[in-house]
Amino acid sequence: MTTIEAFLEGYIFRSEQTGYSVVSLSNGLKAVGLLPEIKTGEKLQLTGEYETHPRFGVQFKIESFSIIYPTTPDGIIKYLGSGLIKGVGPATAEKIVSVFKENTFEVLDSDMDKLLKVEGIGKKKLDLIKKSWEEQKAVKDIMLFLQSYDISPAYAMKIYRTYGKDSVKIVQDNPYQLTYDISGIGFKTADSIGRSAGFAEDHPRRIKSGIIYVLNEAASDGHVYLPMQELIKNCFEILNVDLSDSLLLFREMEENAQIRISNANVYLNFYYEAERNIEQKIEYLLEGSSVITEKEMRSIRFDKKYYSDEQLEAIRNSLLHKILILTGGPGTGKTTALKGIIESYKKLEKKIMLAAPTGRAAKRMSEVIGMEARTIHRLLEYNPQDRFFARSEENPLETDLLVIDEISMIDTMLMHNLISAVNSGTTLILVGDADQLPSVGCGNVLNDLIRSEKIPTVMLTKIFRQAEESRIVVNAHKINKGEFPFITNNENSDFFFIQEADNSKIPDVIIELASQRLPAKYGFDPMKDIQVLTPMYKGDAGADNLNRLLQNSLNKNEILLKRGGREYKTGDKIMQLKNNYEKDVFNGDIGLINRIDTEEEIVEVIFNGKKVEYDFLELEDITLAYAVTVHKSQGSEYPCVIMPLTTAHYIMLQRNLLYTAVTRASRMMVLVGSKQALSMAVGNKKSKRRYTSLFSK
């Protein structure tokens, strides 16, 4: 081994996922190996060996590293002002060094409160500097341990924030614990560490972690459980261990309430309990009688000129039963029926609550009904710190009528928490479109409840005359029936099909439509009114490529930040990728970047007028949203939707996906692609089966 010292001049290549880097050094060498995200200009001590690459020549292969702090005032100023520490830019660094000179690092390491002597540093800024400095030191120490395990600097930071000073010990003793505690670290990463640390292939910790991983992966695909034989098969592919004779291990996991086995199906325990709780609560509601008296029923007068027979049936059933499903496609009058239900309860002076799964869906519900609607999490008074719903079976919601919209979006766990909080005196109305895509989370709640035939269900089928004038509505129903839609373009239409068989040209057509043609002819705002929806992330017409092209076309601001292959600018349209209850933003919420602070490493995003801050390490939670997948658009409505349809997306060309996309458009729908792809989507009724057991165990 050889030890060298040199300044880091820059990164030639760096993998955000693994931390593998190729860097140029001040001594003219190139070095390769695992490094955290070190600032240019830092002095490094590298231990490793020289090697001759057949293509790149002599380079230094890094085995370990350490950072040598600069000793001159100018060097210290440059080091501290490089963006390494939140709250310290070049100007603040100069002020700090002017006070403490060559003793600056000693102050930072042992007596940081002295920084209060520096002009411009108050208590709040001191706390920020303290936290950032300690994290930098700790993460670099952890990195020395983790760099041989292919763990990226971002995950090293997450490990440190979860385990603190015990990070190295926990990772050494049980690396598989990371899969349970660290968001984003899956079994494969933990297994890489475990195998390097000497864990045998058949070690119980490894096998149990692998089983949980496979079941979690299945849940990500929508499954509540896996059949035992399928689980064993999937585990063998991951673990290379045959679990056919591991009954004792499965029983031990059952005893520890990690899994539940029923009818040769294996559940994560909390999913099993959630489904059974939903069943029990619904049975309880079905057994109860309506709290509406006969006298109150007689006092309600229904205007048969205003409501269809189907809508009147929905209103009557809402007064007769404790639980009701109201479903139907666009233009069938779900909103009118729902207003009739709510007006009836208002006349009886009953208390009413409205909610929907997402902020966007709740806002739409408020606008069309004319009453406050909340997200289900807000309704149930979710506490993000404790991950606890204040409203529950012990503390139920106090209302006579509870209406939940967009029920197709609700997954098994959310339904479990919702129905647990329904009071015995409450009437529950579940509203949704059973033909849309199922929830992003596991389960198929709406369709399972309808198929059970246990719950009174009103399915609206009549399309009203006004809706019949909309090609969007008409074509949505044709698509849902498996019929080819009307695609004869008419200037007065709200549904257009642009033929483009060359997949590589489709992005150019979409860019022109979004940036020029549609804004010029119809006055659509490209950022606020137009949304590109696409079946997939990859490919010419996938969300990743379209986002890059649309960003370049629609946002002329300079690039301020690069992370994980993405570039961010102020004004960028972004989407939240997972629920974050602490920030009160949810999977699918769309906002605009308002500010990027490279000194404090903060990105500020505005969601519906609310400012939300993201640490740079949290940027994996957001993505560009000029183009989003159809799955991510559920519960939303956009004035204008543009959707590419290409045979390159054949895996995702399904009827319910196309139907969901078309029903997202309120004023205009534009399909761009080939008739062949459109025909494939309309004709493909097969959707991936989900393993669920709600009312069918």
Residues pairing with 671 in the sheet = 497, 643
More confident residue, 28 or 267: 267
Record the tokens describing residue 504, joined without a space: 């590589």
Asked whether residue 212 carries a pLDDT value surpassing 70, the answer given is yes
Spatial neighbors of 235 by CB under 8 A, at least 6 apart, are 207, 210, 211, 214, 241, 243
Tell me: pLDDT of 43 over 60. Answer: yes
pLDDT for the residue 564: 65
Question: Which pLDDT value is given to residue 468?
Answer: 72
- Quick one: CA dihedral 104, 107, 113, 114, positive or negative? negative
For residue 677, pLDDT beyond 60: yes
Give pLDDT, residue 148. 57
CA dist 623 and 113 (Å) reads: 38
Whether the Cβ atoms of residue 460 and residue 658 lie closer than 8 Å to each other = no
Tokens 């029936």 found at: 481
Q: What is the pLDDT of residue 150?
A: 62
What's the whole-model pTM score?
0.76
Given a contact cutoff of 8 angstroms between Cβ atoms, the answer to whether 11 and 153 are in contact is no
Mean pLDDT for 212-233 is 94
Q: Determine the average pLDDT of the residues in 10-33.
A: 81
Say yes or no to pLDDT of 78 above 80.
no
Average pLDDT over residues 141-166: 69
* Cβ neighbours of residue 243 closer than 8 Å, sequence gap 6 or more: 207, 211, 231, 232, 235, 236, 249, 250
Region of poorest pLDDT, from 50-54, 621-625, 649-653: 649-653
What confidence score (pLDDT) does residue 146 get?
A: 66
Residue predicted with more confidence, 395 or 288: 395
List the one residue out of 644, 636, 648, 633 whose CA is nearest residue 514. Answer: 644
Alpha-carbon torsion angle 474, 477, 478, 482, nearest 10 = 170
**Per-residue pLDDT, 159:** 81
> Using one digit for the tens of pLDDT, what is the confidence trace for 370-429?
999 999 999 999 887 777 899 999 999 999 999 999 999 999 999 999 999 999 899 999
pLDDT for position 89: 83
Encoded tokens for 312: 């009147």
Least confident of 7-16, 19-28, 347-356, 654-663: 7-16
Q: What average pLDDT does the segment 658-663 reach?
A: 95
Structural contact between residues 486 and 478, judged by C-beta atoms closer than 8 angstroms: yes
Count other Cβ atoms within 10 Å, centred on residue 449: 25
The pLDDT of residue 186 is 81
Mean local confidence (pLDDT), 257-280 = 96
Mean pLDDT of 291-309: 81
CA nearest neighbour of 170 among 134, 202, 197: 197
Radius of gyration of the CA atoms of the chain, in A = 29
Query: For strand 43-53 and strand 57-68, is the pairing parallel, antiparallel, or unpaired?
Result: antiparallel
Beta strand pairing call for 20-25 and 457-460: unpaired
CB contact set of 512 (below 8 Å; sequence gap of 6+):
none
Average pLDDT, the chain: 88
Task: Give the amino acid at 465.
Answer: R
Six token digits for residue 570: 């102020």
Confidence of residue 153 (pLDDT cuts 50, 70, 90): low
When pLDDT is averaged across residues 1-7 and rounded to a whole number, the result is 88
**Residue 490's pLDDT is what?**
85
* Torsion angle of the four alpha carbons 359, 363, 365, 368, in this order, in degrees rounded to the nearest 10: -170
Residue that wins the pLDDT comparison between 306 and 84: 306
Q: What pLDDT is recorded for position 598? A: 78
Lowest mean pLDDT among 55-59, 115-119, 408-412, 656-660: 55-59
> Which residues lie below 8 Å from residue 431, measured CB to CB, with a gap of 6+?
325, 326, 327, 334, 338, 403, 404, 405, 406, 407
pLDDT at 628: 95
Q: Amino acid identity, residue 273? A: E
Q: What pLDDT was estimated at residue 16?
A: 61
Least confident of 124-138, 447-461, 482-496: 124-138
Contact 628, 581 (CB under 8 A): no
Give the pLDDT band of residue 578 (cuts 50, 70, 90): confident
Q: Is the pLDDT of residue 155 over 80?
A: no
- 3-state class (DSSP) for residue 427: strand
Q: Which of 197, 636, 289, 272 is nearest to 437 (CA)?
A: 636
Confidence bin at 609 (pLDDT 50/70/90) = confident
256 or 76, higher pLDDT: 256
pLDDT in the model for residue 152: 62
Amino acid at 424: S
For residue 9, is pLDDT > 70? yes
Q: State residue 154's pLDDT score.
A: 62
